Amino acid sequence: MDRNEIISRITEEQLITIVRGVKNVLLIPMAEAMYAGGVRLLEITYSADGSTPDEVTADGIRALKAHFGDRMGIGAGTVLTERQVELTAEAGGEFIISPDTNSDVIRKTVKMGLVSIPGALTPTEAQTAHRAGADFVKLFPITSLGVPYVKAIRAPLSHIRFLAVGGVDEHNMKDYLAAGIAGFGIGSNIVNKKMIESGDFDGVTALARDFIQALAEARK
């Protein structure tokens, strides 16, 4: 899918599942379980501490994209360098998510035809990200900010599409949507490592389905 198609899919689905620290051998069965539960967007994170080599993470993205094709949108998370953007693009990844606002990473992402989703906390960071070409801006960590902050920052920055990440659950999605959030990043509430490592993929499907249903209810 091209940039515009991925932007449309993120806008429509409103949920990106964040996968961190899952071994490559488990990625496809895990992703199939999530797909069965309704998940259509996956973020595979790089290791900031280098515990997993960047090339290994990129191999996981490559394997997922080869397996799913356009059935699932696959991107990278915790992207801190331009080299990681390149590795993701070479692996077939479609979007780049970062915890910070790095204009060089944003510009590289857009130049390579991927969707840019940097993280921001302040109005200055959010506008800097937008000015550099970001397609969405991730408010992170949202649990430290809350709904009142979303309302406050969107008043002067209504032109920016914000995603809420960190501390989002099935109970607060409706409030964030009402405040103008465009979508969410969900991690451990769906990506249960114990279930994945023990092979309980039916359990993973159930967690994914619960969140997809909760999101559908939150939209009403």
The share of the chain scoring above pLDDT 90, in percent, equals 98
- Cα(196)–Cα(66) distance, rounded to whole angstroms? 21
CATH class entry, domain 3-218 = alpha beta
Task: Report whether pLDDT(143) > 90.
Answer: no
Mean pLDDT, residues 128-139: 98
Mean pLDDT of 142-158: 94
Q: Closest Cα to residue 75, out of 167, 168, 9, 169?
A: 9
Exactly one of 43, 65, 94, 108 is catalytic; which is it? 43
Percent of the chain with pLDDT over 70: 100
Is 138 among the catalytic positions?
yes
Catalytic-residue membership of 94:
no
Catalytic residue among 65, 94, 108, 138: 138
pLDDT in tens, 61-104: 999 999 999 999 999 999 999 999 999 999 999 999 999 999 99
Question: What DSSP designation does 38 have?
Answer: T
In the predicted model, is pLDDT for residue 144 greater than 90? no
pLDDT for residue 139 is more than 90: yes
Domain boundaries, the chain: 3-218
Cβ neighbourhood burial of 82 (10 Å; 0-12, 13-18, 19+): middle
